[in-house]
Amino acid sequence: MPPASAACSTTRSARSGLIGSHQEWLPLLAADGAAEAVAALDSAAVLAVLLPELESGAARRVARLDELLPVYRARPETAEWLAAGDCLPLLRFAALLGPGDGEGAWLAQRFALSRAERRTLRAMRALPGEPAGRETAARLVFEHGATALGVPAVAFAAGCLGREAAERILRVVAEEVLPVWRRPPLIGGEDLQVELGRSPGPLFRGALSAVRRAELAGTVTGREAALALAEAWFAAHE
């Protein structure tokens, strides 16, 4: 559907209260020319009906995000991620909303978002933080998994990151951190019991999380180092 036609159709749905994520909104954001369609909705004052919470000029973020899409499509691993399911429309939706803490129940209800869509949208809107290196990428992947690939694009669209920093985070997430995240952790709860003589308890999760974060950050690369870090974590928190 051409952008102008999609915008008109969405306008009718918005005015009748029928728009939902699986009816017209996400398909509009998935289409070529989505930025143009969103701009048309903004010009017609329909975007303000759909999303009165948005600040003036928010629609421009979708076009800015699209500037970075060729970078995603140039890498096989990020191109595959972008093409999967509703990833692209949710990424554009996240850019429209801008970085922030969660999406709120109002958004899920208004656009009929599934729980999975809500989690994806929330993760894509995470604040990347500084600096734009391995530690930041590791934190994002630890907290959000592969959806962390969308964070630099949304931050770039909002002006929170420059293009160079956004591309750097994307590269580190895709090439350095996600390959580690996709492998089994270096140690698990059984290792804490057998190797360190620890009994299962409330500290287990913290110790394993600390090791996993260090593993993703590249500061722990072997089993012995992972066990040593876990032991040090226990000692510091007992």
Which tokens go with 144? 């959000």
Which tokens go with 168? 């750097």
Residue 233 forms part of a structural domain: yes
Residue 211 forms part of a structural domain: yes
Reported confidence tier of residue 154, pLDDT bands at 50, 70, 90: very high
Per-residue 3-state assignment (H helix, E strand, C coil) for 70-132: HHHHCCHHHHHHHHCCCHHHHHHHHHHHCCCCCCHHHHHHHCCCCHHHHHHHHHHCCCCCCCC
Model pLDDT for residues 66-83, shown as the tens digit of each residue: 999 999 999 999 999 999
Residues 171, 211 share a domain: no
Residues 165, 195 share a domain: no
Residues 164, 94 share a domain: yes
Residues 102, 199 share a domain: no
Q: Is the pLDDT of residue 235 over 80?
A: yes
DSSP code for 188: -
Residues 173, 156 share a domain: yes
The pTM assigned to this predicted structure is 0.88
Residues 193, 173 share a domain: no
Residues 127, 64 share a domain: yes
Q: What is the domain range of residue 100?
A: 56-181
Reported confidence tier of residue 210, pLDDT bands at 50, 70, 90: very high
Q: What is the pLDDT of residue 192?
A: 96
Residues 140, 208 share a domain: no
Q: Is the pLDDT of residue 18 over 50?
A: no
Residue 80 forms part of a structural domain: yes
Residues 134, 83 share a domain: yes
Residue 46 forms part of a structural domain: no
Q: Is the pLDDT of residue 6 over 70?
A: no
Residues 158, 69 share a domain: yes
Percent of the chain with pLDDT over 90: 73
Residues 147, 206 share a domain: no
Q: What is the mean pLDDT of the chain?
A: 89
The tally of domains found in the chain comes to: 2
Verify cis geometry, omega within 30 degrees of 0, for the bond prior to 89.
no
